[in-house]
Amino acid sequence: MIVEATEENIRKAAEILKRGGLVAFPTETVYGLGAHAFIPKAVARIFEVKKRPLSDPLIVHIQSIDELKLLVRRIDERAKKLAKAFWPGPLTMVLPKSERVPEIVTAGLDTVAVRMPSHPVARRLIKEAGPIAAPSANPFSRVSPTKAEHVEEYFGDKINLIIDGGKCEVGVESTIIDLSEKRPVILRLGGVPVEDIEKVIGRVEIRTLTEKPKAPGQLKKHYSPKTPLKIVYGEVKPPKGVKAGLLAFKEPKQGFEVVEVLSPSGDLREAAANLYEALHRLDKAGVDVIIAEAVPEVGLGKAIMDRLRRAQG
């Protein structure tokens, strides 16, 4: 059930979480499917509803540094600098976990992924309920939701409540950086460009593909529509003999059944914000294939291309 993001409904959602229920809520990146981070049975329901492998760890969402101290064993200088620069916002840090964090949240790892979202609804909900474990509110490997309606289409009454906070502003998931090792490692490209992170803490390694994930979004096949997707580099032409939809970066092209343009002005932030919604529409358009035009791999363009490559599989 979708409800407006009123104070009364946020309090109601917090009570549901504290009783072990599931609530979908907006963040600045995508909608999350949340359970109280300290209730293992509730967290297990996330994996059940999403059909998500138990080996794929979750992110814990907080709204204050005091809550971070409950979740991790230590906060080093790199984490402090990144928190000051990017929190609240679309950055997740992987840090050594405290004993209080249930094993199911971290897939049995000795680290926990934590972020502080900037969306006011998410922050009010966390303040009322406490830390929330939440992946994106979609079936495992499907396109992430950027509107409440996307969540309802996926799950219907399988979850207790959906808070409608409007369209997500960033539109791609958070950047994830592992700070549990000596050298910082980017595990997932996302809403904070790598270039911005390096201005704060220096050079980082990028290691985003693995069969044993240390954070969400590291598997090769992910964020995928049901319709097959193919990335085209260079000149874009409609394929012969099939109905094709086009995911264009700046300009529409002729000969396609349906066209979605990410950003007419070529703004990568606008393109990222529109990416998943455009993929949802193309997936419902009845085409045989989605042709995705490559975008420049700078700034948020790196995150967009990462999602398209995983959607292609």
User: What integer is the mean pLDDT of 250-259?
Assistant: 96
Express each pLDDT in 266-296 by its tens digit.
999 999 999 999 999 999 999 999 999 999 9
Phi/psi zone of residue 266: left (φ > 0), alpha (ψ -120 to 50 degrees), beta? left
Mean pLDDT, rounded, of the chain: 95
Residue given tokens 């042709």 in the structure block: 291
pLDDT at position 217 is 75
Q: What is the DSSP string of the chain?
A: -EEE--HHHHHHHHHHHHTT--EEEE-SSSEEEEEETT-HHHHHHHHHHHT--TTS--EEE-SSHHHHHHHBS---HHHHHHHHHH-SSSEEEEEEBPTTS-HHHHTT-SEEEEE----HHHHHHHHHH--EE--BSSSTTBPPPSSHHHHHHHHGGGSSEEEE--S-SS-SPPEEEE-SSSS-EEEE--SS-HHHHHHHH---EE----SS-SSTT-SSS-SB-SS-EEEE-SS--PPTTS-EEEEESSS--TT-SEEEES-TT--HHHHHHHHHHHHHHHHTTT-SEEEEE----STHHHHHHHHHHHHH-
Max Cα-Cα span within the chain: 59
CATH numbers and ranges of domains, the chain: 2-206 (3.90.870.10), 229-312 (3.40.50.11030)
Whole-angstrom distance, CA of residue 254 vs CA of residue 23: 42
User: What integer is the mean pLDDT of 155-174?
Assistant: 97
User: Are 134 and 61 spatial neighbours (Cβ–Cβ below 8 Å)?
Assistant: yes
Question: Residue 216 above 90 pLDDT?
Answer: no
User: What integer is the mean pLDDT of 223-230?
Assistant: 94
pLDDT at position 80 is 97
Q: How confident is residue 133, by pLDDT bands cut at 50, 70 and 90?
A: very high
Q: How confident is residue 313, by pLDDT bands cut at 50, 70 and 90?
A: confident
Residue given tokens 């992987």 in the structure block: 94
pLDDT at position 121 is 98
User: What integer is the mean pLDDT of 163-183?
Assistant: 96
Question: Residue 159 above 90 pLDDT?
Answer: yes
pLDDT at position 252 is 95
pTM of the shown model: 0.94
Question: Residue 246 above 80 pLDDT?
Answer: yes
pLDDT at position 274 is 97
Whole-angstrom distance, CA of residue 204 vs CA of residue 193: 12
pLDDT at position 231 is 98
**Joined tokens for residue 238:** 């409609």
Question: Residue 222 above 90 pLDDT?
Answer: no
User: What integer is the mean pLDDT of 170-194?
Assistant: 96
pLDDT at position 223 is 82
Express each pLDDT in 48-101 by its tens digit.
999 999 999 999 999 999 999 999 999 999 999 999 999 999 999 999 999 999
